[in-house]
Amino acid sequence: MTETKRTRKIALVGDCLAGGGAEKVQAVLSVFFESKGFSVHNIIFIDDITYPYSGVLLNLGKLKANSIYDKLKRLYVLRNYFRKHKFDCIIDFRYRVNTQNELLIAHGVYDRPAIYTIHSGITDFYIPKNKAIATLIYGRHQLVTVSKAIEKRLKQQLSIPISTIYNPFEIEKIKALSEQFIPEEAPFIVAVGRMNDRVKQFDKLILAYGNSVLPQQNIKLVIIGSGQYLAELKELVVQKKLENEVIFKGYQNNPHGYQKKALFSVVSSIQEGFSNVIVESMIVGTPVVSFDCFAGPNEIITDRYNGLLVEDQNNIKLTQAMNTMVNDSELYQYCKRNTTASVAHFAVEAIGNQWLNFLKLKDEN
């Protein structure tokens, strides 16, 4: 009698399945892993789901978390879940800022070594500054970053296994979404990002744009995103008398139509982790102007090949780069021609197979 091969089980643990880059990666990988025949379990701590995902869902966000007792009870439920299912691998996508909580999860909840991912250049969101505590939490586990720059920095701080696997992108899906609508605004450049913190530095972008030739050439600046600093940014636009030039579109479930129609995208962040919006723009054929910030942009953009890399935090050069993209049509068209092919290696199938190789699960199902 032929022995039936056991279906391999993968646990994907995240904050939620909505809103952010890490959450999107979890959702995309859940679909990929299930398509390869694995049993996928998504475990989330916040009851917020907008991204399509595959597999079983354990939504701990539906349990109370008002007291220490409630939170410990959730961890007890999670501990029993892992012991019941005996997963072949665990990948953790969460922000991890509570040291005591992470010690409990790393040593009391996870029943096997896990893979902890790091999606931001602000590594304090994931790793304690104290090396001894960081080693105590992660010593028996592994870290996977989304950029080589983050990997290099962490290897200087920690003596635990660290690797890099870039974010996966549903290339054909993004292309199809970019065709669903044509923005009314034209011509324009675009910037996309959250406004709940100052990391994206849209204020710097507005100032650089205002000093550029773009307003005089009737090229608008479209900003997509929402958050607590939106009112402050709108006030800055009024102060600079750019109300007719800067257009706030709020949060968009599908920003890809704007990315496709834009002359180019701009990333003005103080730091990134990988910068999904750069890849998304290039997928739909739009070059990018970006600060050469830590971390990610220079691992995607080749200067004057598929976009322009600007000296980090130099607003004068950011203005000059925007002017160059508008005034140097030969360079612009050259960059535009190179965009899509230059990011093909970030496709889900390629990145997903890197994960399978890393987890030593390839061809085992």
322 belongs to a structural domain: yes
* Model confidence at 21: pLDDT above 80: yes
142-157 exposure pattern, b = at least 16 Cβ within 10 A, e = fewer? bbbbbbebbbebbeee
Question: Average of pLDDT values for 148-155?
Answer: 95
DSSP 108: I
CATH (domain of 52): 3.40.50.2000
- Cβ neighbourhood burial of 259 (10 Å; 0-12, 13-18, 19+): buried
Q: Where is average pLDDT lowest: 4-8, 146-150, 231-235?
A: 4-8
Query: Same domain, yes or no, for 221 and 298?
Result: yes
pLDDT confidence of residue 364? 54
Query: Same domain, yes or no, for 14 and 163?
Result: yes
364 belongs to a structural domain: no
> Computed over its alpha carbons, how large is the radius of gyration of the chain?
22
Question: Average of pLDDT values for 300-307?
Answer: 98
Closest CA to 284 of 163, 355, 179: 179
Question: Residue 101: phi, psi to the nearest 5?
Answer: -60, -40
202 belongs to a structural domain: yes
Averaged pLDDT of the chain: 94
Label residue 159 by pLDDT band (50, 70, 90): confident
In three-state secondary structure terms, 248 is: strand
Query: Same domain, yes or no, for 334 and 192?
Result: yes
14: left (phi over 0), alpha (psi -120 to 50) or beta: beta
Query: Same domain, yes or no, for 304 and 239?
Result: yes
Query: Same domain, yes or no, for 289 and 199?
Result: yes
Query: Same domain, yes or no, for 176 and 303?
Result: yes
40 belongs to a structural domain: yes
Residue 212 identity (one-letter amino acid): S
* Model confidence at 3: pLDDT above 60: no
Query: Same domain, yes or no, for 190 and 272?
Result: yes
Range of the domain at 29: 9-168+347-358
Closest CA to 147 of 301, 38, 254, 303: 301
* Model confidence at 2: pLDDT above 60: no
Query: Same domain, yes or no, for 157 and 194?
Result: no
Q: Total domain count for the chain?
A: 2
* Model confidence at 160: pLDDT above 80: yes
Its pTM stands at: 0.92
pLDDT confidence of residue 19? 79
363 belongs to a structural domain: no
Query: Same domain, yes or no, for 157 and 101?
Result: yes
Question: Average of pLDDT values for 116-144?
Answer: 93
55: left (phi over 0), alpha (psi -120 to 50) or beta: left
3 belongs to a structural domain: no
pLDDT cut 90: percent of the chain above it: 89
Give CA separation, 345 vs 112, 279, 354, in Å: 31, 10, 11
Give CA separation, 189 vs 15, 175, 316, 354, in Å: 32, 18, 18, 34
Question: What order do you get walking across the sheet with 142-145 strand by strand?
Answer: 56-59, 39-44, 9-14, 89-92, 115-118, 142-145, 162-164
- Cβ neighbourhood burial of 4 (10 Å; 0-12, 13-18, 19+): exposed
* Model confidence at 362: pLDDT above 80: no
Query: Same domain, yes or no, for 132 and 213?
Result: no
DSSP per residue over 172-198, as a string?
A: HHHHHHHTS---S--SEEEEE---SSS
In three-state secondary structure terms, 54 is: coil
Q: Residues 260-283: pLDDT tens digits?
A: 999 999 999 999 999 999 999 999
Rounding to the nearest 10 degrees, give the CA dihedral for residues 342, 345, 348, 349.
140
Residue length, the chain? 365
- Other Cβ atoms less than 10 A from the Cβ of 67: the count is 9
Label residue 1 by pLDDT band (50, 70, 90): very low
Q: Residues 71-123: pLDDT tens digits?
A: 999 999 999 999 999 999 999 999 998 999 999 999 999 999 999 999 999 99
Question: Average of pLDDT values for 36-58?
Answer: 96
Query: Same domain, yes or no, for 19 and 149?
Result: yes
178 belongs to a structural domain: yes
Strands (E), 203-277: 220-224, 246-250, 265-267
pLDDT confidence of residue 365? 52
- Other Cβ atoms less than 10 A from the Cβ of 253: the count is 6
Query: Same domain, yes or no, for 150 and 185?
Result: no
The answer to whether 200 touches 180, Cβ cutoff 8 Å, is no
Question: Average of pLDDT values for 197-216?
Answer: 96
Question: Average of pLDDT values for 7-22?
Answer: 93
Spatial separation of the C-alpha atoms in residues 208 and 221, rounded to whole Å? 11
4 belongs to a structural domain: no
